[in-house]
Amino acid sequence: MAQLNYPTTRTVDQKDNYHGTSVADPYRWLEDDRSAETGEWVKQQNQVTFSYLEKIPYRETIKKRLEKIYNYAKYSAPSRKGEWYYFYKNDGLQNQAVLYRQKGLNGTPEVVIDPNTLSKDATTRLAQFALSKDGKYAAYALSKGGSDWQDIFVMDMSTKKNLSDKVEWVKVSGIAWQGDGFYYSRYPKPAGSELAAKNENHQVFFHKIGTSQAADLLVFEDKANPQRFHTVNTTEDEKFALLYVSDRGKGKDGNALFYKEAGAKAFKPVVAEVSDFSYGVIENVGKALLIQTNKNAKNEKIESFDTATNTWKSIIAEKEEPLQSSSVAGGKLFLTYMKDVTTRAYVYDVKGKLENEITLPGLGTASGFGGNADDKAVFYTFTSFNYPSTIFSYDIATKQSTVFRAPEVDFRATDFETKQVFYPSKDGTKIPMFIVYKKGLKLDGQNPTLLYGYGGFNVSLNPAFSPLLIPFLEQGGVYAQANLRGGSEYGEKWHEQGMKLKKQNVFDDFIAAGEYLIAEKYCDNAHLAIRGGSNGGLLVGAVMNQRPELARVAIPQVGVMDMLRFQKFTIGWNWIADYGSADNAEEFKVLYAYSPLHNIKEGVDYPATLITTADHDDRVVPAHSFKYAAMLQAKAGKSSSNPLLIRIDTNSGHGASNTAKNIEQTADIYAFIWWNMNAKLSL
């Protein structure tokens, strides 16, 4: 294709002083998401991008194949409340999953909430659904257009009709019932842009059924620490309300924990001060709280706190493998551990005695295991790269699992294989990586290869089935998922090795993954694409600057690209615990050295780049991607032989706001990758 003519982006003479270093920010005006000029810039960029994508001849064919393979019924595991079982189902290509209920496991399903009917473009999402203890009422939260803001409504479950209740400006919140109402967390109505304004003064309220939000009781706030999160949940028997306080804006990676017994007015401390240790209540056993914590246990452990005596007791000690999840159901404690990024599941009694391991179908990811105190069985979901998400029922008495519901997907699992490798990073650390491909793959260096990574926030990239990946593999593509430091794959130690002053380890791990794939002849530089979203978008942007020749294509999605100003928007200050802050001189030096926006070089031939973001992303505001795209085009637009484009979705957020948008975006990404690799396809 001919050289692209990018829109000319106006510059301003904006400079900021960071600890004696003057830093220019010529595209500061793009931070104003409400200005007409920004809106016009978005329109012009999309015109260039979509006119490019529309010229790719097989773009529509890719989309149709994605639609076909995605078009199968997808269910969530059911949860029980009294005689009713609740579950989500997407018939196939519905934009949003529908919430159903049925009496007993063999009853006739009936619709509870169908989010597809709540907006013309089906971008309104059912974000939360919580039933009262007796099941008579449900509080549910809706978000619009992909935003993180939520509104809470109340439904009478006997009629499935809404009451008059409506709660607004909810964010970073659960819905925790206690008696005739529920706890929730919210911010004051933002001044200025609701999608970009900094969120401060997180408050906890109690809403009583049938009253207005103005009458809600303020339960907790901390005006002295406006950049803290305060959230409440309750135990199954509703005897305890549990208050969690975190202070990641000041670099603390853990939380404080308080409790309040039903009827009491004040919260009492379990852990009074926020530190780098986390505490999560699993459930109560009488007056004692079962707590998962990483205090003096980087792989986490289970302890008990007796509220009657204020004493701690060890229940299950730390193991070599990191503790992934914990839940209580049917009088048993269910724990999952992660061994080399795959799940192991165990059953204990509530005093901490091991009873048995749950046999899983293979190496993959198992999740769920939650339930009620009187349940006889629990449900869990198992998945791997070539094992579609399947729901199992585990009988507590017989200790046996049976398939409860398996999907019917238009592919043959035996056509594909997965291998796990351990490759050395720059400092010699062995990094795990999964590689997925069609059987019979030739290692000739010519296979279109998509390398995906994240590496941050204690998040693990586990094996999981995605129907949208199959069309890429069907065309001879290779998918590689690298488990970089900064995640939780090997516990808190792994996380710490990829955060703050050690963030460069994450980029080194990703670069080494690409070099391994090339050395082993899965691909060469001309057939490698790198992709990541959010913190992974930052990853791709940083690696592009450090090693622009490594990959042919780069897909930085909804990335944190301005590492000097991320904390100034919405809840960006929450990321200081992982990244550090430019307000700190030592951390500024590290951030400035890798910030994607600030390290773009003139005259460099960057990879073919498709940046993706969305107008309703109020987590990583689109200004990050706007400024990054403007700088990339200005500095490399004329010297690069490759397209440097930004795709800006509308009425969508940090993730695609509905199925249609998800499929459209995936089709565009695959088309862009294959087109720029001159891939030989059988479409």
Provide the sign of the torsion angle of the four alpha carbons 559, 564, 565, 567, taken in this order.
positive
Nearest Cα to Cα of residue 33 among 681, 620, 676: 620
**Nearest Cα residue to 241 out of 261, 266, 268:** 261
Find how far residue 514's CA is from the centre of its chain: 24
Q: Helix (H, G, I), strand (E, B), or coil: what is residue 186?
A: strand
∠ CA 455-416-59 to the nearest 5 degrees? Answer: 75
Strand partners, 137: 156
Q: Residue 480 in contact with residue 431, Cβ under 8 Å?
A: no
Instruction: Tell me if 24 sits within 8 A of 600, measured CB to CB.
Output: no
Which run of H or of E encompasses 496?
helix 492-496
Contact 273, 255 (CB under 8 A): no
Query: H helices of 564-642, where?
Result: 576-579, 585-594, 623-636
> Degrees (nearest 5) of the Cα angle 446, 447, 452?
130
Structure tokens at 441: 């793959």
Question: What is the C-alpha to C-alpha distance for residues 327 and 94, in angstroms, rounded to an integer?
Answer: 31
C-alpha to C-alpha distances, 605 to 310, 550, 629, 637, 642, nearest whole angstrom:
63, 11, 15, 9, 7
| Tokens at 55, concatenated | 């010229």
**DSSP code of residue 225:** -
Contact between 609 and 556 under an 8 Å Cβ cutoff? The reply is yes
230, 495, 616, 654: the active-site residue: 654
- DSSP string covering 177-243: EETTEEEEEE-PPPSS-TTTSPP---EEEEEETTS-GGGPEEEE--TT-TT-EEEEEE-TTSSEEEE
Angle between helix 36-54 and helix 623-636 axes, rounded to 10 deg: 60
Type of residue found at 45: Q
Cα–Cα dist 435/431, whole Å = 13
Active site residue 534: yes
Q: Is residue 654 annotated as a catalytic residue, yes or no? A: yes
Residues in contact with 115: Cβ distance below 8 Å, sequence separation at least 6, in sequence order: 95, 96, 97, 98, 122, 124, 125, 126, 142
Spot the catalytic one: 534, 581, 625, 652: 534
Q: Which phi and psi (to 5°) does residue 494 adopt? A: -65, -40
Residues 445, 443: Cα–Cα separation, whole Å = 6
Q: What's the CA gap between 497 and 487, in Å, rounded?
A: 9
SS3 634: helix
Which neighbouring-strand residues pair with 418? 436
- The residues annotated with a catalytic role in the active site are 534, 654
